[in-house]
Structure 1
Amino acid sequence: MSVKEQIEALREELRKHNHNYYVLDTPTISDYDFDIKLKELQALEAKHPEFYDANSPTLRVGGEITKNFNTVVHEHRMYSLDNSYSKEDLLDWEKRVEKILGDSNIEFTCELKYDGASISLTYEEGKLVRAVTRGDGFQGDDVTTNIKTIKSVPLQLKGDYPAKFDIRGEIVLPFEGFYKMNEERIANGEDPYMNPRNTASGSLKLQDSSLVAQRPLECLLYSVVGANLNLETQFEALEKTRSWGFKVPTVAKLCKSVDEVMAFVEYWDVHRHELPYETDGVVVKVNTLRYQEELGYTSKSPRWAMAYKFKAEQVSTVLNEISYQVGRTGAITPVANLAPVLLAGTTVKRASLHNADQIEKLDVRVGDAVFVEKGGEIIPKIVGVNLDLRPQNSEPTKYIDHCPECNTELIRTEGDAKHYCPNEYGCPPQITGKIQHFISRKAMDIDGLGSETVELLFKEGLIQNYADLYALTVDQLLPLERMAKKSAENLVKGVAASVEIPFERVLFALGIRFVGETVAKKLAKAYKNIDALMYASALELATVDEIGERIASSVVAFFQNEINLDIINRLKGYGLQFQVSAEKLLNQTEKLKGETYVVSGVFEMSRNDLKKLIEDNGGKVGSSISSKTTFLVAGDKMGPSKRTKAESLNVPIISEQEFLAKLS
């Protein structure tokens, strides 16, 4: 046997033993024998570097140092899940799904929702090529070096895997390993870690991968995405990916009704405490993958999945003080400052009180013993008061009437839950909040500039609005605290590079009230440039798809303000993109304007490309058939109920080829 063959045989044998031990939990070799074979492979690789393999089992020990984690755009966006807390929520979701699909016999896959750090792994030709954190869902940090040290992540797959795909999962720290780590820290005189979830998440960004290798992290996989996967259902996908070498939990269950789903939820709400990992709920997914594709996504979440959250942990503590925060829109948020208390693995000192109505409803007062829980197990909130422990000298809470930052009298419009500070251009947190929104990742995404630096620049009088960013020079920045020459140069370069950001993101960055990412895209598509949008009336704006009176009025008010117009003119002078690019316009027409299409079934082109064609040509994609549907584009395997409904409403049914012929 040649040296190359020896090396490859040892690698394959060690991969098999690794899989048996860390994934299947059925070791077939002693730790001693495994280490001997690993050292044998290390020695051979050291003598023959020409046979280097980035996915060799010998590289599991780590040792690479990563100073900066590169930002990587996800090829397939990572969405967040909608949450439900009752059977009624699930039934409502089921009805919506049935209405869109036109099918009342839908199967669901139920999986446990593990509480860890989300990760996306990319495999090409069976090899791990990239591991990226969730980030904001659009892009995350490349942590491949650290992920390779996790033994349950296969570096080389086996079986009939696709040529290229992404697989999503959670990096978790089992309780046993977490407790052992804390015992060692306490013995060394160090503070213990607070909870497994945060410890797992923090591990991914350690600069020294050998430290990550020492932590008993695991990777539990649950979703595979990509093209030409040859998979029919979610349940099949779980079984198939398990056969490729991934650690996929076996507790998943196929359910035929919401009653079966609830039985699964109720069982695990009790038995989850027997699991070796943290869990906070159950994820319910429509089982058929082509149905998932047909249901699609909202701007934030898949329509085909729902997270059922277990009842939140609740604790009691004392409310010491109520303070008030001012947001970038001027909205006032009351915050409860609490006596520190341990809740769901973290020490809680502050909780949201939402608004004046909530304070009045709960009759929350300073000095009260209050009940606190984590809404969705993320944001702490006060849910009640223990009146038996209320102090005798207690007085009702009087909500503030002036801004805590600039002392301007607060306003509250009819039908609005929150109070607002109207001093939009003179209230410090509103000024810095607008600039922080402008530079954020989903907006202008300016490298070298963060929230703290914005606060510092404002405090030093260098910026008063986001247009001032484009006039900053390195010489102005150098005298600032903790601002080295390289940092100053990177900030100025990052600002200059942002002029290439496309129009829809610039529009979102302006911070017009009620204009989020999705609305900004719709307005950019409808008006093509800032000048057309600027002169549009509220009546005209309200005719744009999904733009109601509230958004229309807000847009008109924004462009009527002279300060905003002055800032936009300055930004134009700095070269920002205030119109849809010529390249994008080239592929857009108004051929389908005023027409609504429902797309159902399997097509030769991808469903997303088909929907994009409709939208690029001025049409609207509907989620379910109604009297407003202009055409139903029918592919293979379209449900018979969709056809029946279309025929009953006299909606014309056309094929993919007929649709393309209509366009041409």
Structure 2
Amino acid sequence: MDVSKEQIDALTKELQDHAYRYYVLDEPVIDDAAYDKKLRELQELEAAYPEYKQEDSPTERVGGEPLDQFKKVRHEIPMMSLSNAFNAEELREFDRRVREGLGEEASYSCELKFDGLAVTLKYENGRFVQGATRGDGTTGEDITANLRTIPSIPLKLQKPVTIEVRGEAFMPKASFERLNQAREAQGEALFANPRNAAAGSLRQLDPKIAADRHLNIFIYAVASLEEDGPDTHTEALAYAAELGFHVNKETKQAASIDEVIAVCEAWEDKRSELPYEIDGVVVKVDNLEAQEQLGYTAKSPRWATAYKFPAEEVTTVLRDIELSIGRTGAVTPTAILDPVPVAGTTVQRASLHNEDLIREQDVKIGDRIVIKKAGDIIPKVVRVLTEERTGDEIDFHMPDTCPECGEELVRIEGEVALRCVNPLCPAQIREGLIHFVSRNAMNIDGLGEKVITQLFDHDLVRSVADLYRLEKESLLQLDRMGEKSTENLLQAIEVSKENPLDKLLFGLGIRFVGSKGAETLAAEFRTMERLQQAELDELTAVHDIGEKMADAVVTYFQQETVQQLIDELRSLGLNMSYAGTEAAEVDEDSAFSGKTFVLTGSMDAMSRSEAKKEIEARGGKVTSSVTSKTDVVIAGEKAGSKQRKAEELEIPVWDEEAFTSRLD
């Protein structure tokens, strides 16, 4: 063997071992200077003999060439959000629902809730191939190049397995302090908190910037594994650690909800001792089969919840109350405050929700008030310190007319909000456009609130259809829109035409139709045309579609202006069907329709993810655990415990040939 190749191979292996000990095990055996010296030596050897450089070389951590934009990634397994619990009583209620769903007691895993950016990592045959952000839970952004710069993310696993894991990328407190010190010295704006700094670093188009930010990651779940896996979440994390992933050592098992509460309360007191930020504890049913049995709601798993630490409360002065008009015409009052730090960010605005709340809390302009962040996210007014009033405070009265268009405001029966019902109100049109391009809707990169406002103010858009008629020359007239950013924006608008029907439905802003409702409607009716023709009884017959939503959908599509808009969008090339293409009818008599399958072992003809798609395309459902509700187990080579369990439960087992023959 070539001596140079031997040197590169040996030095690569040595540096990988040192990085694993330092970043994952926290047990370094050499100091930073010695490591840096060996890294420079490897860089020099690779520069002289590039043909011997390995794909997973430690030198890849420094960051590659800048990207033009992030590509979209659709998650095969959705990255759902968690329900929240804010006290012991709510944790006990979560436990009650779990016991009711399982018919027995459950044991739990308690892990720290890291304050960073949720990501998913995919490995094929042990090599890191893709990393993405959570995004809206269904579609994220490909940030592989940036994630490769995080030293605790292995580029090559200890075993050649195909696996997808989920984790939280974060910025340690020390890294955050160094970053802000450097930015202050350069006269740059400071990051408000480590979470924002981590998210901002991983969404930089230049990976070298991410490499300089000294990020870290904790893996908190195994999403999929192309072989028979562990039986519990705790075992899955231990297996991930064996593969070389950075798994948090503070995760605790709890045999009862009393033990869970004790863990949560203990961390509430000592969270400040950690070298990274946490904002709670995640509680999960430990047994994976029990997780499968409990299933999911529209938004979150039934087998997990996030215990959130009590929000920090601070005192400030309310200087004014501003009114804003939402896309549905609702008038929302917002408190303008003296700036004050709350839970890691500086707050200058807080929601007052509606006129009734202002009256109930007796809010006056000039009051000293107490605010907090609900769920550590949205600032809200908690109470007024009436005992500190001086007599100079001013009463606030809601106006009778819309501050944007001057039309009379009305209160619809049964609602607390005042509304502007003028369909031509500029504020409603502008807010509707902002909603249409938002992440959970059409997700158009580069079309944020500021750009939409500019387009609206320059009279370039008056409806969502106008977005698809924008031209380069008119965009170049806007502030901060150069040649490259304009081209990227037009490309993003063009790409959005391919979005599936559910994204378009949600973007249209139909009253009472959220993202989950839009997905349900799209999956049921498959095309825009069929949904437009749906009658009230057809809609209410759909699971999860109530009368209020059904009535809103029928009313919406009966409007002539809406029919014209849909025709315009169709002529402009927007996709009008579910899942991005004209959906094929599912054969209800097929061997897959309405049945639940479990895949185990490996196949020659296709991967398990490809097999899953084939089953779902034919109306079947794929789950990870064998239960009494499983209809068929498909067993490839080296099928293990799942096949044995299927045989014990007398569930039919198909081999690869039996499976593929039924696909024809």
User: TM-score range with shorter-chain normalisation?
Assistant: 0.7 to 0.9
Q: Return closer, same or farther for 1:523/1:189 CA change in 2, 3 Å cut-off.
A: closer
Which of 457-466 and 268-277 deviates more? 457-466
Structure 1 residue 415 and structure 2 residue 442: aligned? no
Q: Contact 1:591–1:617 at 8 Å: present in 2 too? A: no
> CA-to-partner distance for each residue in 1:423-457, whole Å, 9 max, x for gaps?
12x11121122223333344334456444333223
In the aligned structure 2, how far is the partner of 1:582 from the partner of 1:241?
34
> CA-to-partner distance for each residue in 1:170-203, whole Å, 9 max, x for gaps?
2222223333444455566666543222222222
Equivalent residues in 2 for 1:372-383, closer than 5 Å: 372-383=371-382
Corresponding letter in the other structure for 2:214? P
Corresponding letter in the other structure for 1:576? L
In the aligned structure 2, how far is the partner of 1:275 from the partner of 1:484?
44
In the aligned structure 1, how far is the partner of 2:195 from the partner of 2:578?
42
Correspondence for 1:114 = 114
Deviation at 1:78, TM superposition (A): 1.8
Correspondence for 1:332 = 331
Q: Return closer, same or farther for 1:522/1:167 CA change in 2, 3 Å cut-off.
A: closer
Structure 1 residue 83 and structure 2 residue 84: aligned? yes
Q: Contact 1:293–1:607 at 8 Å: present in 2 too? A: no
Which of 315-324 and 126-135 deviates more? 126-135
Structure 1 residue 152 and structure 2 residue 174: aligned? no
Correspondence for 1:194 = 192
Structure 1 residue 22 and structure 2 residue 58: aligned? no
Number of residue equivalences: 632
In the aligned structure 2, how far is the partner of 1:363 from the partner of 1:265?
36
Selected match of 1:436 from 427, 434, 437: 434
Which of 260-269 and 550-559 deviates more? 550-559
Correspondence for 1:644 = none
Q: Return closer, same or farther for 1:352/1:228 CA change in 2, 3 Å cut-off.
A: same
In the aligned structure 1, how far is the partner of 2:97 from the partner of 2:65?
49
Corresponding residue SS for 2:225: coil
Corresponding residue SS for 1:586: coil
Correspondence for 1:128 = 128
> CA-to-partner distance for each residue in 1:215-254, whole Å, 9 max, x for gaps?
3322122112113351211111222212222221111111
In the aligned structure 1, how far is the partner of 2:578 from the partner of 2:18?
55
Structure 1 residue 237 and structure 2 residue 258: aligned? no
Corresponding residue SS for 1:404: coil
Corresponding residue SS for 2:465: helix
Q: Return closer, same or farther for 1:616/1:413 CA change in 2, 3 Å cut-off.
A: farther
Correspondence for 1:645 = none
In the aligned structure 2, how far is the partner of 1:536 from the partner of 1:190?
55
In the aligned structure 2, how far is the partner of 1:30 from the partner of 1:497?
49
Q: Return closer, same or farther for 1:442/1:154 CA change in 2, 3 Å cut-off.
A: same
Which of 372-381 and 191-200 deviates more? 191-200
In the aligned structure 2, how far is the partner of 1:444 from the partner of 1:582?
13
Corresponding residue SS for 1:226: strand
> CA-to-partner distance for each residue in 1:333-354, whole Å, 9 max, x for gaps?
2111100001111110001112
Structure 1 residue 368 and structure 2 residue 377: aligned? no
In the aligned structure 2, how far is the partner of 1:317 from the partner of 1:151?
42
Deviation at 1:386, TM superposition (A): 1.3
Which of 116-125 and 253-262 deviates more? 116-125
Corresponding residue SS for 1:443: coil
If the length of structure 1 is used for normalisation, what is the TM-score?
0.85
In the aligned structure 1, how far is the partner of 2:42 from the partner of 2:613?
52
Deviation at 1:466, TM superposition (A): 1.6
Q: Return closer, same or farther for 1:591/1:344 CA change in 2, 3 Å cut-off.
A: same
Selected match of 1:573 from 551, 555, 571: 571
Correspondence for 2:286 = 287
Correspondence for 1:457 = 455
Q: Return closer, same or farther for 1:46/1:476 CA change in 2, 3 Å cut-off.
A: closer
Corresponding letter in the other structure for 2:570? K
Question: Gaps (5+ residues) in structure 1?
Answer: 626-630, 639-652
Q: Contact 2:401–2:408 at 8 Å: present in 1 too? A: yes
Deviation at 1:313, TM superposition (A): 0.8
Correspondence for 2:645 = none
Q: Contact 2:119–2:169 at 8 Å: present in 1 too? A: yes
If the length of structure 2 is used for normalisation, what is the TM-score?
0.85
In the aligned structure 1, how far is the partner of 2:383 from the partner of 2:23?
45
In the aligned structure 2, how far is the partner of 1:527 from the partner of 1:94?
37
Q: Contact 1:45–1:52 at 8 Å: present in 2 too? A: yes
Corresponding residue SS for 2:348: strand
Corresponding letter in the other structure for 1:114? F
Deviation at 1:285, TM superposition (A): 0.7
Structure 1 residue 73 and structure 2 residue 71: aligned? no
> CA-to-partner distance for each residue in 1:282-323, whole Å, 9 max, x for gaps?
000111122223333333222221000011111000011111
In the aligned structure 1, how far is the partner of 2:224 from the partner of 2:259?
30
Which of 394-403 and 179-188 deviates more? 179-188
Q: Return closer, same or farther for 1:372/1:474 CA change in 2, 3 Å cut-off.
A: same
Correspondence for 1:649 = none
Q: Return closer, same or farther for 1:233/1:46 CA change in 2, 3 Å cut-off.
A: same
Deviation at 1:378, TM superposition (A): 1.0
Q: Return closer, same or farther for 1:180/1:455 CA change in 2, 3 Å cut-off.
A: closer
Deviation at 1:479, TM superposition (A): 4.6
Which of 499-508 and 281-290 deviates more? 499-508
Q: Return closer, same or farther for 1:505/1:63 CA change in 2, 3 Å cut-off.
A: closer
Corresponding residue SS for 1:567: helix
Which of 236-245 and 372-381 deviates more? 236-245
Q: Return closer, same or farther for 1:7/1:344 CA change in 2, 3 Å cut-off.
A: same
Correspondence for 1:226 = 224
In the aligned structure 1, how far is the partner of 2:495 from the partner of 2:205?
28
Corresponding residue SS for 2:419: coil
Q: Return closer, same or farther for 1:427/1:618 CA change in 2, 3 Å cut-off.
A: farther
Q: Contact 1:406–1:427 at 8 Å: present in 2 too? A: yes
Structure 1 residue 12 and structure 2 residue 13: aligned? yes
Deviation at 1:107, TM superposition (A): 1.2
Correspondence for 1:41 = 42
In the aligned structure 1, how far is the partner of 2:543 from the partner of 2:24?
49
In the aligned structure 2, how far is the partner of 1:183 from the partner of 1:517?
41
Q: Contact 2:150–2:215 at 8 Å: present in 1 too? A: yes
Corresponding residue SS for 1:420: strand
Equivalent residues in 2 for 1:515-664, closer than 5 Å: 515-579=513-577, 585-589=583-587, 633=630, 655=651
Q: Contact 1:590–1:618 at 8 Å: present in 2 too? A: no
In the aligned structure 1, how far is the partner of 2:239 from the partner of 2:11?
26
Q: Contact 1:591–1:618 at 8 Å: present in 2 too? A: no
Q: Contact 2:500–2:581 at 8 Å: present in 1 too? A: no
Corresponding residue SS for 2:411: coil
